[in-house]
Structure 1
Amino acid sequence: MPALPLALTQGDPSGIGPELTLRAWQERHARNLPAFALIGSLDHLARTAERLGWDVPLLACDWAEATDIFPESLPVIPLEGATGAEPGRPDPATAAGTIASIDRAVAAVRRDEASAVVTNPIAKSVLYQAGFRHPGHTEYLAYLAADAGVEPRPVMMIWSEELAVVPVTIHEPLRRVPNLLTKELIVETARIVARDLQKRFGIAAPRLALSGLNPHAGEGGAMGEEDRMVIEPAIAALQAEGIDARGPYPADTMFHARARAGYDVALAMYHDQALIPIKTIAFDDGVNVTLGLPFIRTSPDHGTAFDIAGKGIARPDSLCAALKLAARMAASS
């Protein structure tokens, strides 16, 4: 029996998702990509390929056929109704299809028709104009994953072969971070990270390195109390549970090659502290991984790029890395 395909969502059809999908399929052999099927409009994908002058055979299919089809044609799980999206011109009228693609990907994985969800980029502002009521992509996935009305707690990890990082607080103004950072938040986040590194990545005893919040990790309280009063107790609590948590380390010395060799993932206390190093090291091929869900979800670590959509110049590196990592995680689970 062939391996289950990955469920790839269409993302915003006015962004670079359609051409990234086409380019990834074109490079499937060179990059040794796993089989995937796009959930979207076959007509829109065909128009995109024609506009770019790319010869990509497309074939509508169901999940059971997708893996066998993949070597010779790009499998498409059709969405009802063709989209009239134009590259670089986001339109709230396409929001229903964007959301339906996500819904069907999650449903396919939960029915064991697909092995993992890989999401093309969406534009939250476009969805909001159409009445979307969730803060973002990840929160909507948590809503779809809810069992008995209880939503899971998703954690964002940005992964590359060289470095994996988790921001404990994410899209928050810097002035709010010290008040948001609690022992409980750090411990809960680290537990989810350690569990999923074991379950999804096959790492028997994950090594977690936690950064300090302040310069020099607070310098014993001389540069801020949060490291001593919040982060150190969280690390002690994690260690008492048997989790290999270390730190807090000064963030400015955590990310050189020798330091990275000593841990599997770095937990940083705020957004830029985590994302600046990984986007410096792996700007083109970083992968956004959502931990804490009952299914695997990866995504390219970039947005819709409306400014270059339809020009055929968007690089598929991050999408290809997301596809390969999703398949790797599925094989480890």
Structure 2
Amino acid sequence: MNIKPIVAVTMGDPAGIGPEIAVKALLQDNVTSICRPILIGDAATLNDIIKRLALKATVNAVNNVSDARFEPGVIDVFDLENVDLETLHFGEISAMAGAASFESVKKAIDLALAGEADATVTGPINKKSVNEAGHHFAGHTEIYAYFTGTRKYAMLLVEDNLKVIHVSTHVSLRQACDLVKKDRILEVVGLLQDGLISLGETNLKIGIAGLNPHAGDSGLFGTEDDEEILPAVEEARRRGFDVEGPVPADTLFSKAATGFYGGVVAMYHDQGHIPFKLSGFKWNPEKKQMDSVKGVNITMGLPIIRTSVDHGTAFEIAGKGVASADAMVLAIESAVQLARYRKTAYPAT
């Protein structure tokens, strides 16, 4: 695209690090050189963060995307005026903060559906605060699916060589086992390949994790691998996918980290998230904080583009000015890549 895409970035929970990492990211040249970012949230909150961190930036509060300036050093904010700074406390769960973060997400979705934004990027929210505000969703993925009317979707995590999609995410472990079904596995294999192609990945070999230890070991440790996962692998091959599995999870991810697989299918949330975060999250034991937090969360299957940081609100360091914007920058870069691919592959949209 000759014209840089407009990317709507939500501020996340105002009591967490979302506003901080959003501002830090939008002040970087490598972000503004590839897109036209606009923050969705509360302008007063963003002004407060800029003053606290003594950042060289000004806020341009707008009520329409068309009023954004998209200039270096200027943070364009689609101002929802929904945070009471007098009652906001960093690191605390509150219905007010939950409502503000939810409204930011909803506005970003609306702008993308209306064609006013080419992609959306979400800052971290606190699920408890959102639910206390009366919005009963398990997370961003479910919010996006509901308001876009999407039934077939999946969470794809991206960090360097690791690209991990999930059969299930925000459910109990007991329920996750019941959701390991042939049709769902086939569905996420297709979504994963679409994601790999959209991100410009040329290695389309997909590794599919087993559910049980040693992928069930011929039924000794469970039957799901033989009865659901293996038939899905065989059917995927018949459909032309380059797949391997079920592979025991304790060996699958070590191979994936080297780039052997273009992407992998995890059967449940922690099976995919733990190796992913071991790769992208770097803890400093001396400082007792993260030196770097990398990783992008992409919701596949939506009619609009949504990427996100793959970390939480980090209440313990909110307002201290030490939060890393690495993941936010990566999420924006991924959103731009997806927007460029979509414009090229579907020029009429």
Same fold (TM over 0.5): yes
Instruction: Please report how far the alpha carbon of residue 185 of structure 1 lies from its aligned counterpart in structure 2 after TM superposition.
Output: 1.9
Q: Where in structure 2 are the equivalents of 1:81-120 lying within 5 Å?
A: 81-84=82-85, 85-120=88-123
TM-score (norm 1): 0.90
With over 3 angstroms needed to count, the CA separation of the structure-2 counterparts of 1:220 and 1:289, relative to structure 1, is same
Secondary structure in 2 matching 1:247: strand
Q: Which residue of 1 aligns with 2:5?
A: 4
Secondary structure in 2 matching 1:69: coil
CA distance in structure 2 between the aligned counterparts of 1:155 and 1:7, rounded to whole angstroms: 21
Q: Which range moves more in the overlay, 272-281 or 221-230?
A: 221-230
Secondary structure in 1 matching 2:217: helix
Contact 2:155 2:299 in 1 (8 A): yes
1:279-306 Cα offsets, whole Å, 9 max, x none, are 1111221111111111110111111111
Q: Which residue of 2 aligns with 1:308?
A: 317
Instruction: Please report how far the alpha carbon of residue 311 of structure 1 lies from its aligned counterpart in structure 2 after TM superposition.
Output: 0.5
CA distance in structure 1 between the aligned counterparts of 2:31 and 2:312, rounded to whole angstroms: 25
Instruction: Please report how far the alpha carbon of residue 164 of structure 1 lies from its aligned counterpart in structure 2 after TM superposition.
Output: 0.7
CA distance in structure 2 between the aligned counterparts of 1:272 and 1:128, rounded to whole angstroms: 22
Instruction: Please report how far the alpha carbon of residue 211 of structure 1 lies from its aligned counterpart in structure 2 after TM superposition.
Output: 1.1
Instruction: Please report how far the alpha carbon of residue 109 of structure 1 lies from its aligned counterpart in structure 2 after TM superposition.
Output: 1.3
Instruction: Please report how far the alpha carbon of residue 331 of structure 1 lies from its aligned counterpart in structure 2 after TM superposition.
Output: 0.8
Secondary structure in 1 matching 2:339: helix
**1:256 and 2:259 aligned:** no
CA distance in structure 1 between the aligned counterparts of 2:258 and 2:166, rounded to whole angstroms: 16
Equivalent pairs counted in the alignment come to: 327
Which of 297, 302, 323 is 1:293 aligned to? 302
Instruction: Please report how far the alpha carbon of residue 75 of structure 1 lies from its aligned counterpart in structure 2 after TM superposition.
Output: 1.2
Which of 62, 65, 70 is 1:63 aligned to? 65
With over 3 angstroms needed to count, the CA separation of the structure-2 counterparts of 1:56 and 1:152, relative to structure 1, is same
Letter in 2 for 1:137: H
Stretches of structure 2 lacking an aligned partner (at least 5 in a row)? 282-292, 343-349
Letter in 2 for 1:43: A
**1:140 and 2:143 aligned:** yes
CA distance in structure 2 between the aligned counterparts of 1:12 and 1:136, rounded to whole angstroms: 13
With over 3 angstroms needed to count, the CA separation of the structure-2 counterparts of 1:77 and 1:182, relative to structure 1, is same
With over 3 angstroms needed to count, the CA separation of the structure-2 counterparts of 1:219 and 1:316, relative to structure 1, is same
CA distance in structure 1 between the aligned counterparts of 2:312 and 2:212, rounded to whole angstroms: 30
With over 3 angstroms needed to count, the CA separation of the structure-2 counterparts of 1:122 and 1:221, relative to structure 1, is same
Q: Which residue of 2 aligns with 1:53?
A: 54
Contact 1:162 1:281 in 2 (8 A): no
The percentage of counterpart residues that share the same residue type is: 36
Q: Which residue of 2 aligns with 1:227?
A: 225
CA distance in structure 2 between the aligned counterparts of 1:215 and 1:97, rounded to whole angstroms: 43
Q: Where in structure 2 are the equivalents of 1:311-326 lying within 5 Å?
A: 311-326=320-335
CA distance in structure 1 between the aligned counterparts of 2:102 and 2:309, rounded to whole angstroms: 17
Contact 1:15 1:90 in 2 (8 A): no
With over 3 angstroms needed to count, the CA separation of the structure-2 counterparts of 1:83 and 1:260, relative to structure 1, is same
Letter in 1 for 2:301: G
TM-score (norm 2): 0.86
Contact 1:12 1:304 in 2 (8 A): yes
Contact 2:121 2:307 in 1 (8 A): yes
Runs of 4+ aligned structure 1 residues displaced above 6 Å come to: none
Q: Where in structure 2 are the equivalents of 1:231-250 lying within 5 Å?
A: 231-250=229-248
CA distance in structure 2 between the aligned counterparts of 1:264 and 1:208, rounded to whole angstroms: 6
Stretches of structure 1 lacking an aligned partner (at least 5 in a row)? none
